[in-house]
Structure 1
Amino acid sequence: MTKEQTAIKATYFSIASNALLALIKGLAGFFGNSYALTADAIESTTDIFSSLLVLFGIKYSNKPADDNHPYGHGRAEPLVTFLVVGFLITSATIIAYESIGNINTPHELPASWTLIILGTIILWKEYSFRLVMKRSKEANSSSLKADAWHHRSDAITSVAAFTGISIALFLGKGYESADDLAALFASGFIFYNSYKIFRPALGEIMDEHLYDDLVVEIRKVSLQVQGVESTEKCFIRKAGMKYHVDLHAIVNANITVREGHDISHLLKDTLRAEIPELGHVLIHIEPSYS
C-alpha cells in the first residue's frame, strides 16, 4: 500500500467515525440534557468537514508535477491544515460562547446514562487518535496528523464532559453548571491543540529547517556513492508527503565535466532509491583540490 493510499484509507475511517459519533453525541446530549455532550457533537460535526478537507488535500497534493507546478502540488497539504485549524477554532469558539451563556441559566441535571455513552466514546476516540497518528507518520502527512489530533481533542472534550456530568450528578442540585464549565474547559484545550497543529504547518510553508536527522541520513548515503568525497550544503524543504533536497557534493577537481555529471546523476538516483520520501533532488558539484 502506497503512502497516499494509507493516508486516504485513514481519512475515510475518520469521516465515518466522526459522522457516527456526531449523531450519537447529539442525540445523547439532547435527550440526556447535557450541553457538554451537545458541544462534543458540534466538534464531531466540524471534524467531518475537516476530514473531507484533509481527504481533498491529500489527493490534490499527490498530483504529479506539471509545467505550472514543477515541484508538484505538495504545498496544498499545509494549506488544508490551516483550514482544518480554522474549523477547530470555530468549533471551540461556539462551544465557549454557548457554555458561558448556559452557566448562569437554570437547567436540569444531565441524565446518568450519558456517562456510559461518554465512557465508550472516550475509549473509541483515543483508539482512533492512535490509529490515525500512526498512519500519519507512515504517510508523512501533516494534514493527516492534524486529523489525528482532532480525535485526541475529541477524546479530551469527552473526558471533560464526563467529569462535568459526574460532578453535577454526584453533588446534585445547584451544581448543574459543572456540565457547562466542563464544556468551557474543553474549548480551551481545543484552542491549545489548534496552535500545536498550526505551528508545524506554518514551518512547512515557510521552509523552516526541521530535518536534522534526514540531513544526517542524506550525507551518510551520499558517501556510499563512488566519486563523492564529502558533502557540503544540504537544504531540505517539505511539500506534502515529499522532501525536496538541494545538496552540494564535493568531488575530485581533476575529473572531466562528463564524469562530474555522471556522479551527480548517480548520487541523485541513489538518494531517491535509498530514501523513498525524497522528491526533487538537486545536486551541485563542488571541486576538491586536496
Structure 2
Amino acid sequence: MADRHHSGLLAIWISLISNIILTALKIAAGLVLASPVLLADGVHNAGDIIATVAALTSSMVSKKPADDDHPYGHGKAEVVASAFVAVILVLAAFWIGIQSIGALFKPPGEESWLALGAAAISLLWKQALYIYTIRVGNATKSKSVLATAYDHLADVYASLAAVIGIGLGLLGDRLNWDWAAYGDPIAGIVVSLLVLKLAYEIGRDSVDILMERNVSVEKLAYYEALIRTADNVKRIDRVRAREHGHYIIVDVRVGVPHDYTIQQGHDISRQLKKLIMDYDPDVVEVMIHLNPWEPSAYTPHV
C-alpha cells in the first residue's frame, strides 16, 4: 500500500511540474508568435494546474489513517478531487467551445511552422503523460491519479485540435484553400464535445462512489462464492461492498448455527475476513455480522 501511495504521488508531481512548464511555454509561444490557438491552449492548461494541485492534495489526505472523526479512513478525499477535476473539465469544454464558435465569425489569423511545432510537442508530451498516469492510476486504484490521467487525455484532444487547425491553416495557405483557415475552430468544437464526454464519465463515477454504490455484480458474486466455502456458514443473508477512494469496505451478514460459542463465531468471522482480503488486496475492512441459524428456520435475519 505504501508503494502504491508513493507511485501515485510521483505521477501527480510529474503531472503538476509538466503542466506548469507547458502552460508557461504555450502562453509565451502564443504571445510571441501571435497564435490565438496556442494562447487559448495555454490558458486551458492553466486550469489543469489547479486540477492537479487538487489531485495532489487529495492524494496526500486520502492516505491519512482513520481517526475518531473519520473511522473509515480518508479515502473519499480522492473522490472529491475527482469530482472537482470533472467540474474543471466541464468549464474547459465550454470555454473551448465558446472560443471556437467565436473564431468562426472572425477573420482567420496567419499560422506559423513554429506554432505547429509547439503544438506537436505539447501533443506528444501530454500523450506520454496520459499513458504513464493511466497505468499508475490503474495499478494503484487511485481516483485522483486516474482523474489526472483523464485530464491529460483532454489536453491530448486539445493539442491534437491545435495541430490539425494550424496544419490545415498552413496547408490552406500553400494550396489556396480558403476553408482550411477555419480548421482550428471546427476542430476545437469537436474537442469541446470530447472533453465534455470525459467530464461526464469522471463525474458520474465520482457521484456513484460518494453515493456509496455497490461494487460490480461480478465482484459481489465472487465474494459470495468465497463465503460459501467457509466452514459452518449455513446461510448468506447479505453481502455489500463499496469503494472508499482507493480501497474497498465489505459488509457481510451470514447465518451460523445458533448454539455456537462466541469463540466459534469469532473464528468464523476471522476466516471470512481472511478469505475476502486474500482474494482482493483492495479490501481493507470486512465488517461481519453473525445471525443465529437453525435447521428449521428459513427467514433471513437482518
Task: Give the TM-score of the pair, scaled to structure 2.
Answer: 0.87
State the 1:269 CA deviation.
4.0
After TM superposition, the structure 1 stretch with the greater mean CA deviation from structure 2, 187-196 or 167-176, is 167-176
The aligned counterpart of 2:184 is: 179
Given that residues 85 and 151 in structure 2 are in contact (C-alpha distance below 8 angstroms), is that contact kept between their aligned partners in structure 1? Answer: no
Find the aligned partners of 2:267 and 2:212 in 1 and give their Cα distance: 29
* Of 232, 237, 240, the match for 1:235: 240
After TM superposition, the structure 1 stretch with the greater mean CA deviation from structure 2, 157-166 or 260-269, is 260-269
- Whether 1:196 and 2:201 are equivalent positions in the alignment is yes
* Of 216, 220, 238, the match for 1:211: 216
Given that residues 249 and 285 in structure 2 are in contact (C-alpha distance below 8 angstroms), is that contact kept between their aligned partners in structure 1? Answer: yes
Find the aligned partners of 1:243 and 1:71 in 2 and give their Cα distance: 10
User: What is the alpha-carbon root mean square deviation over aligned residues?
Assistant: 2.2
Q: Evaluate the alpha carbon distance shift between residue 262 and residue 210 of structure 1 in structure 2; reply closer, same or farther with a 3 A threshold.
A: closer
Given that residues 134 and 149 in structure 2 are in contact (C-alpha distance below 8 angstroms), is that contact kept between their aligned partners in structure 1? Answer: yes
Tell me the percent identity.
Answer: 27
* Of 269, 289, 295, the match for 1:284: 289
Amino acid at match of 1:126: Q
Residues 104-138 of structure 1, C-alpha deviations (whole Å, 9 max, x = no match): 22253111232222223222222211211111111
Find the aligned partners of 1:13 and 1:86 in 2 and give their Cα distance: 22
Amino acid at match of 2:224: R
- Whether 1:82 and 2:87 are equivalent positions in the alignment is no
The aligned counterpart of 1:24 is: 25
The aligned counterpart of 2:299 is: none
Find the aligned partners of 1:272 and 1:178 in 2 and give their Cα distance: 54
Unaligned residue ranges in structure 1 (runs of 5+):
none
The aligned counterpart of 1:71 is: 72
What aligned pairs does 1:118-137 form with structure 2 within 5 A after superposition? Answer: 118-137=119-138
Given that residues 66 and 72 in structure 2 are in contact (C-alpha distance below 8 angstroms), is that contact kept between their aligned partners in structure 1? Answer: yes
State the 1:153 CA deviation.
1.0
Amino acid at match of 1:10: A
State the 1:78 CA deviation.
1.4
After TM superposition, the structure 1 stretch with the greater mean CA deviation from structure 2, 205-214 or 12-21, is 205-214
State the 1:240 CA deviation.
1.4
Find the aligned partners of 2:85 and 2:155 in 1 and give their Cα distance: 14
What aligned pairs does 1:101-116 form with structure 2 within 5 A after superposition? Answer: 101-116=102-117
Amino acid at match of 2:76: R
Find the aligned partners of 1:3 and 1:224 in 2 and give their Cα distance: 31
The aligned counterpart of 1:43 is: 44
Given that residues 35 and 99 in structure 1 are in contact (C-alpha distance below 8 angstroms), is that contact kept between their aligned partners in structure 2? Answer: no
The aligned counterpart of 2:267 is: 262
Q: 3-state SS of the aligned residue for 2:291?
A: strand
The aligned counterpart of 1:33 is: 34
Q: 3-state SS of the aligned residue for 1:282?
A: strand
Task: Give the TM-score of the pair, scaled to structure 1.
Answer: 0.90
- Whether 1:248 and 2:253 are equivalent positions in the alignment is yes
Amino acid at match of 1:171: G
Residues 141-176 of structure 1, C-alpha deviations (whole Å, 9 max, x = no match): 222211101111111111111111122222237443
Find the aligned partners of 1:77 and 1:289 in 2 and give their Cα distance: 44
Find the aligned partners of 2:215 and 2:262 in 1 and give their Cα distance: 34
Amino acid at match of 2:168: I
Given that residues 61 and 76 in structure 1 are in contact (C-alpha distance below 8 angstroms), is that contact kept between their aligned partners in structure 2? Answer: yes
Q: 3-state SS of the aligned residue for 1:47?
A: helix
Amino acid at match of 1:161: A
Residues 57-97 of structure 1, C-alpha deviations (whole Å, 9 max, x = no match): 11112211111111112222211112112222222333333
Given that residues 26 and 41 in structure 1 are in contact (C-alpha distance below 8 angstroms), is that contact kept between their aligned partners in structure 2? Answer: yes
Given that residues 104 and 177 in structure 1 are in contact (C-alpha distance below 8 angstroms), is that contact kept between their aligned partners in structure 2? Answer: no
Given that residues 39 and 183 in structure 1 are in contact (C-alpha distance below 8 angstroms), is that contact kept between their aligned partners in structure 2? Answer: no
Q: 3-state SS of the aligned residue for 2:113?
A: coil
After TM superposition, the structure 1 stretch with the greater mean CA deviation from structure 2, 161-170 or 84-93, is 84-93
Q: 3-state SS of the aligned residue for 1:2?
A: helix
State the 1:51 CA deviation.
0.7
Given that residues 215 and 243 in structure 2 are in contact (C-alpha distance below 8 angstroms), is that contact kept between their aligned partners in structure 1? Answer: no
State the 1:270 CA deviation.
4.2
